Structure 1
Amino acid sequence: MKTIYENKVKAQGDLVEEFGSVMLIFFGDNAPDTLKDYCHLIDIKKVDGEIKVGDYFEVDGLKAKILAVGEEAQRNLENLGHLTVNLSANVEDLLPGAIVCESLDIIKVEIGSEIKIVEE
C-alpha cells in the first residue's frame, strides 16, 4: 500500500460535529467564512498519485474504502485543501468535490489527527 496523501488537522470549526460521523469537511486556511465553522482545517498539499475507487481514506489508522470520487475532489484538495468525505456508503450522495466511503460507526477527528489516502 502506498500513501498518496497525508496531512494533519491543525484547527477545527466550532460546528464540526453538526454532521456527526457521516460527513467530514476538510479545508485549507482559505475556507470561506460561511463554511469555516464546519471544517477541519489542514495545510494545502499535493496528492502523489490519483484518488480513485478502491483506495482508502484513513483517520488516525482507521480506514474506510473509497466507493466513489467526485470529478472535482482531487483538484479541490490540491488547490484549496478542500475535501468532503461522506461516510454513508451511498454513492448516489456523491458531490463533485467529495468522496464517498464505506460506512463506519464513528470517526473522531481532532486537532492533530492524521488523515491519509492510501492506494490499495
Structure 2
Amino acid sequence: MSLNEDFNDAMRELAQGNGPVLEALARQSEGALQQTGIDPQTALLVRIAALVALDAAPASYLIHLGIADRGGVKAEAIEATLVELAPLVGSARIVSAAGKINQALRELSAP
C-alpha cells in the first residue's frame, strides 16, 4: 500500500469517527481538561461552543461529546449552550451543529 493510500485510509477512519488518529485526539483533549482553571463541565461547554462557531466536522463533536458524557455534562446544558450561541453565530450554524451533534450521538450509541 502506498503512502497516499495509507493517508487516505487514516483520513477516512477519522471522518467516520474511529481509528488511531481520533483516539489520539480524544486522549489529548481529555488530558487538556485537567490543566484548566475552570471546572471540566464548563470547559467542555466552551469547547462545544467553539466547535459550533467553527462549523466543525461530526468527528470533532464525537470526541467532545464522548468526554462530556463521561464527565456528566447533561444534554440540557448542551442545548442551552446552542440557544445562547444562536444570536452570535446565526441559525445556520446552530442547525448545522445540531445535525452534526445528532450524527455524533448516533455513532456514540452504535454497537
TM-score category of the 2 structures, normalised to the smaller one: under 0.3
Greater relative contact order (Cα < 8 A, sep 6+) = 1
TM-score with structure 1 setting the length = 0.26
More helix by share: 2
Q: Which has the larger radius of gyration?
A: 2
- TM-score, normalised to structure 2, is 0.28
Higher strand share: 1
